[in-house]
Amino acid sequence: MKRWLAAAALPISAVLAGCGEEDEFEVAVIPSQSIGEMETGLNLLEEELSEALAKDVDVEHYPSYNAVVEAVNYAHVDLAYFGPVTYLAAYEESGAEAVITQEIDGDPYYHSYILTQPDAPWDSLDDLLENPEEISFAFGSQSSTSGFAVPGFELLERGVYESESTYAFAEVRFTGSHDITANAVAEADVDAGAIDSAIYNALLDEELIDENDFKIIWESEPLYQYPWAVPGGTDETAVEEIQEAFLAIDNEEILQIFGGAEAFTEASHDEYESVLEAARAFDLLDPEEIDD
């Protein structure tokens, strides 16, 4: 059974040097959906990795982006799954290295969407921003790539958003997660909100939201899917074993909780360079600035 960890309760372990038979393999996963929705898939992932790596595997759903970054920075875990921005923070702080990501609809890319209601008078982001002082806007977590950094950078360049306290909108709120943002838009609690396209589609597939409640008025350039990263200094043999284990996974209950993925595929740091400009614009690579 997965348990919700407090950041202060993270286990302390040595830096992973390889896949020793006796050691427990620790995996940290960000809270991209609620723990109840992810629990079955995480349990199955734990079982498949245990068999493939021939060792005990503990997959934990961590309470915050910050907790996962700290865990991989200090090698409290052997593998971490998080968003591109939080990965880049870990890369710059401790040399964490992306090794695996997901394929969705045949490729390893996703987008940031800005959504509004279907009967709203705006059909594009240009329309929405004609009178920003009348608009309430929702981001997800402040550490989310598609829920904040990328759409926030677009709004920064358009001159309507600078920081949590400085913006041209009537209201800006941070909901903390993509599903809450979707519900806030659907219920017209806000006029528009930013969301991860893969999570949006997964929520539709699981019938947790209704496509008739939304209109997409902006789509970002393609973003490389969320990475799985190992701590800096991880042995190359261990990396190859991890990659082989993930590439062999075809269980739909596991794949579904990672944005409705169809398969896992290899990743490297190079694919995440495109997010750096947005992350740096909001000082998101400073570990002290990562949202709890």
Full-model pTM: 0.75
Q: How many domains, in total, are found in the chain?
A: 2
What is the pLDDT, as a whole number, of residue 122? 97
Do 244 and 268 lie in a common domain? yes
Domain-ending residue, one of 220, 242, 257: 220
The DSSP annotation for 80-146 comes to EE--HHHHHHHHHHH--EEEEEEEBTTBSEE-EEEEE-TTSS-SSHHHHTTSGGG-EEEE--TT-II
pLDDT of residue 36: 60
Q: What is the pLDDT of residue 127?
A: 98
Categorise residue 36: left if φ over 0, alpha if ψ from -120 to 50, beta otherwise.
Answer: alpha
* Lowest model confidence (mean pLDDT) among 82-86, 220-224, 249-253: 82-86
Q: Which domain holds residue 56?
A: 7-104+226-289
* Number of alpha carbons in the 13 Å side-chain half-sphere of residue 266: 8
What pLDDT does 6 receive? 35
Task: Give me the mean pLDDT over the 167-182 stretch.
Answer: 96
Same domain flag for 203 and 249: no
**Has residue 2 been placed in a domain?**
no
* CA 219/CA 125 separation, integer angstroms: 9
Flag whether 70 is in a domain: yes
In degrees rounded to 5, what are phi and psi of residue 40?
A: -60, -45
Question: In this structure, are 161 and 185 located in the same domain?
Answer: yes
- How many angstroms separate the CA atoms of 214 and 206, rounded? 16
Residues 95 and 181 in one domain: no
Residue 153, domain member (yes or no): yes
CATH code of 53's domain: 3.40.190.10
Find, among 6, 17, 33, the residue nearest to 260 by Cα. Answer: 33
What pLDDT, on a 0 to 100 scale, did the predictor assign at position 211? 97
Task: Tell me, yes or no, whether 142 and 170 share the same domain.
Answer: yes
> How would you classify the pairing of strands 97-103 and 112-116?
unpaired
Last residue of a domain, one of 167, 201, 220: 220
Average pLDDT of the chain, as a whole number: 88
189 and 118 assigned to the same domain: yes
Taking the mean position of all CA atoms in its chain, how far away is CA 84?
7
Given this model, what pLDDT does residue 48 score? Answer: 96
CA-to-CA distance for 223 and 21, rounded, in angstroms?
36
Q: 291 burial class (0-12, 13-18, 19+ CB within 10 angstroms)?
A: middle
- Alpha-carbon distance of 139 to 262, in angstroms, equals 27
Structure tokens at 83: 């968003």
In a domain, residue 199? The reply is yes
1-37 pLDDT tens trace:
333 343 333 333 333 334 434 579 999 998 655 556 6
Q: Which residues make Cβ contacts (< 8 Å) with residue 85, sequence separation at least 6? A: 143, 144, 145, 149, 275, 278, 279, 284, 285
Residue 81 forms part of a structural domain? yes
Q: Residue 237: count other Cβ atoms within 10 Å of its Cβ.
A: 11
Q: Which tens digits make up the pLDDT trace of 101-139?
A: 999 888 899 999 999 999 999 999 999 999 999 999 999
Q: How much is the pLDDT for 28?
A: 95
Q: What is the pLDDT confidence band of residue 144, given thresholds at 50, 70 and 90?
A: confident
Of 220, 242, 272, which one is at a domain's C-terminal end?
220
